[in-house]
Amino acid sequence: MSDLVPQSPESLPRPRLHKRTLTGFTSTEIKVIDSIIPSESRELWKKFGSKEFNTVEEFQASFISHVEKTLARSMYNCDNLAAYQAASSAVRDKLILHWNKTQQLHTAKDIKRVYYFSFEFLMGRAMDNALINLDIKDLTKEGVNKLGFNLEDLLEIEPDAGLGNGGLGRLAACFVDSLSTQNYAGWGYGVRYQYGIFAQKIIDGYQVETPDYWLRFSNPWELPRLEIQIPVDYYGFTQTVKDLKTGKSKKQWFGSERVLAVAYDFPVPGYDTANVNNLRMWSAQPTTEFDFNKFNQGDYQNSVAEQQKAESITAVLYPNDNFYQGKELRLKQQYFWVAASLHDIIRRFIKTKRNWSEFPDQVAIQLNDTHPTVAVVELQRVLVDIEGLDWDTAWQIVIKTFSYTNHTVMQEALEKWPLDLFGNLLPRHLEIIYDINLKFLQQVEKKFPGDNDLLSKVSIIEESSPKNIRMANLAIIGSHRVNGVAELHSELLRTTLFKDFVKVFGVEKFTNVTNGITPRRWLREANPELSELIASKLGGFGYLTNLTELKKLESFINDSSFKKRWAEIKVNNKKRLSLLVKNLTGIDINPDSLFDIQVKRIHEYKRQQLNIFGVIHRYLQLKKCKNNEERVKLYTPKVSIIGGKAAPGYYMAKTIIKLINSVGDVINKDPDIGDLLKVVFVPDYNVSKAQIITSASDVSEHISTAGTEGSGTSNMKFVLNGGLIIGTVDGANVEITREIGEENIFLFGNLAENVEQLRHNHKFNSLENNIVPSSLQEVFDAIESNTFGDSSEYKSLIDSIKIHGDYYLVTDDFDSYLQTQKLVDDEFRNHRDEWIVKCISSVANMGFFSSDRCIQEYAENIWNVEPVQE
């Protein structure tokens, strides 16, 4: 294989040129249909049109121009912050030029666009990603270096855009990267929260939340479009009015409160292409209309104060992951974002002067979970109440436009709005929901006469007291496709949560798109050394846009110098993480130890409690050893690293964090233990920390109760970076196993198909108190005898398992977990060469988990769109 001869990274070919070149568009000019500039003036526009930088010197000129003119500073007072801002602005300028051309091309091509509606976009940092995707990292590094700065220091200054909770928001971020990279016309629509996910501090072992005011130093990566102001109404009443044109009577909504949605655009660069899509985020502003009533009553202060309340709508992200809380402000946020986004899309469509029936040929909208589901109702309202279409014509357009991604089967995560709350805020939308429901139930009744049980199950309205609107039911009824996020999860949707809808609509409506991750951020950016090693073997970085090329790595599993380098890189990444851990916690960890990592939101279903109980068990066994000799003989030195945020109101999750920290405090300073076991809680887990952490695992834990995890994506990040998994047969672990082979993954625990029976058993056995295996009882005894501080703090955690039914089946899986951990220890310690072979073969078979593949599947099977050719 001549193309597989090793090459040094410097001699690598530059990235393969994609359909569109990096320096711009190959066509000489993109024709714009309407321009207000008279043709005789256009030559001047072209003559003075902005040029993007392409050399170190041009970058430096742009940098200095931004220091001096944008920031009003000079070489005498340019600190790292200013340098970061200037460098970002220079790069942003380049992106904007690509962005403009991309939008002109898409408009000129008049193609169908995809709109990804997500309440969360967990973007992380933008600068490093832009440098990599534009292939200007070396240039920029040299440019800032000669001007007296270190690029790595500048990159560290950027705060994360933490506009999401966890996996769902990060998925949206990976998807917009893949949409751009593959030359799709695909926009994200989201909310510009002023406060993203809170920053987590650990004080005396407890989680303390502090606000994340990420816009503190302004944000060079966003473009305020202050002229795009879309009015959004709330409350008020509905009335039947006579249509002046048709003479027919129709319903109309008169809102009583109005705010403005202002657009902020975040350019989303693709890798190895000039295609730059847009992530449009809405920010709430008071209307400029003034409450003259109040003013005339001499109440100037109050009339201004009332207006200020508008801004609170987009002030803060709700910090719950996989948990629904029916707060009015959240529904206000949802309608605000959805109404503004739809208005924007409709305005764009109307400019094309097409017939409404062609709307679904121009627009595909993906609902990321049920958060944007009110969009279904809003589009129906606009089409019927405002545009005057008849109900059925409008409804067909709606269904063809929308599709819905479900992320969870857990009841506590399903959105159900109390009917009164909903109807008060959005009275006309409630009426429309009633009409949608009535027509739908009539169809069901026709197909299944007399099946009242079926009717009540598929109804949008839950006839509980108080009554609720089931948003998942509305999303299914208003979409043409519904997908789960991994095969097991999609199968559970078809056979449990949505089985009644399968009966009504047929099984074809319910499909699967297994989640993925972008290899640009999660390999190239997170693991520079490994990505370069791979490039040196595969003949360049083409694999980053065609991840199944990794398969060729299989031919190197017997190449000892390759394996040696592979192992070195892992140690380097572990050293990098050790440094981060030292800085954050003061704890010293040894990079030669086995690094066992579990980072993700803290949740009982993800079972960090199982992990820490396992750690305690190991500690107790170590303590039983006669002396150090025996300990060293029996146990592999190991560092247990756990990180993640708990929702501020989730008491049990916070208890688990406290237990992890207390256990760490005891173990880390026990002189008997030394390097044999260390326990680290990494505070404030976020995307930029994940980029350091995911490349540094030997093994990572994905140990949710079978059937509870939708997909998981950190499992993919860890394996792509050469770590093995200890996991349950859940979510995408199933497909990871299929792709990499079951000899390369440590699976344990009960299967999803047995969970119901096991839970049932607990309900009826738990009082007899014979369900806790002795191994786990030993752990409980240690906790209860105050080994890790005041045991009363952990009473509710232990009770939830011992006497409240052990819903997450910790007792059922504990021994299986311990046994499998033993296997991990043994493999890592005694079969290191096989271990490395496992890692390499795993990476070689991870191609399937690129988010590029996800986007292709959505494009073909759900959106009916193709990449835009020039």
- The closest alpha carbon to 160, from 715, 685, 693, belongs to 685
Give the span between the Cα atoms of 606 and 517, in whole angstroms: 20
Whichever of 260 and 597 has its CB closer to ligand PLP, that residue is 597
C-alpha distances in angstroms, 462 versus 347, 428, 449, 468, 870?
35, 19, 20, 5, 50
Whichever of 319 and 712 has its CB closer to ligand PLP, that residue is 712
Active-site option among 480, 600, 617, 678: 600
98 is catalytic: no
Closest contact distance (angstroms) between CB of 171 and ligand PLP is 8
Q: Which of 607, 678, 717, 838 is catalytic?
A: 717
Which residue, 685 or 748, has its beta carbon nearer to ligand PLP? Answer: 685
**Of the two residues 98 and 717, which places its CB atom closer to ligand PLP in the complex?**
717
Closest distance between ligand PLP and the C-beta of residue 177, in Å? 13
Nearest distance in Å: CB 686, ligand PLP: 5
Please say whether the beta carbons of 524 and 541 come within 8 A: yes
The site for ligand PLP (CB under 6 A) is made up of 166-167, 170, 600, 685-687, 690, 712-714, 717
Whole-angstrom Cα distance, residue 793 to residue 787?
Answer: 12
Contact 678, 582 (CB under 8 A): no
Q: Which is nearer to ligand PLP, 537 or 717 (CB)?
A: 717
Amino acid identity, residue 367?
Answer: L
Selected catalytic residue, list 170, 371, 601, 689: 601
Return the closest-CA partner of residue 180 out of 365, 387, 364, 22: 22
List, in sequence order, the alpha helices (H) in 9-126: 42-47, 56-65, 80-109
Cα 551 from Cα 102, distance rounded (Å): 33
User: Cβ of 517: how many Cβ atoms within 10 Å?
Assistant: 28
- Per-residue burial over 103-138, b = 16 or more CB atoms within 10 Å of its CB, e = otherwise: bbbbbeeebbbbbbbbbbbbbbbbbbbbbbbbebbe
Provide the 10 A C-beta neighbour count for residue 803. 12
Minimum Å gap between C-beta 549 and ligand PLP is 23
**Nearer to ligand PLP among residue 713 and residue 845 (C-beta):** 713
600 tagged catalytic:
yes
Task: Clarify whether 381 is annotated catalytic.
Answer: no
Nearer to ligand PLP, 680 or 687 (CB): 687
Residue nearer to ligand PLP on the CB measure, 60 or 713: 713
C-alpha span between 80 and 54 (Å, rounded): 23
Q: How far is the CB of 363 from ligand PLP (least distance, A)?
A: 29
Residue 688 beta carbon to ligand PLP: minimum distance, rounded to whole angstroms: 9
C-beta of 319: minimal distance to ligand PLP in Å?
Answer: 13
216 part of the active site: no
Query: Which residues lie below 8 Å from residue 217, measured CB to CB, with a gap of 6+?
Result: 81, 85
Contacts of 247 (CB under 8 A, 6+ apart): none
Minimum Å distance from CB 372 to ligand PLP? 20
Catalytic site residue from 371, 407, 416, 494: 407
Q: How far apart are CA 327 and CA 339, in angstroms?
A: 19
For residue 808, the minimal CB distance to ligand PLP (Å) is 15
- 606 catalytic residue (yes or no): yes
Is 572 within 8 Å of 566 (Cβ atoms)?
no
User: Residue length, the chain?
Assistant: 870
Instruction: Pick between residue 473 and residue 695 the one whose CB is nearest to ligand PLP.
Output: 695
**Which residues are 205's β-sheet partners?**
none
Per the annotation, the verdict on 713 as an active-site residue is yes
Q: In the structure encoding, which two tokens stand for residue 556, read together? A: 């190197």
Catalytic residues: 407, 600-601, 606, 713, 717
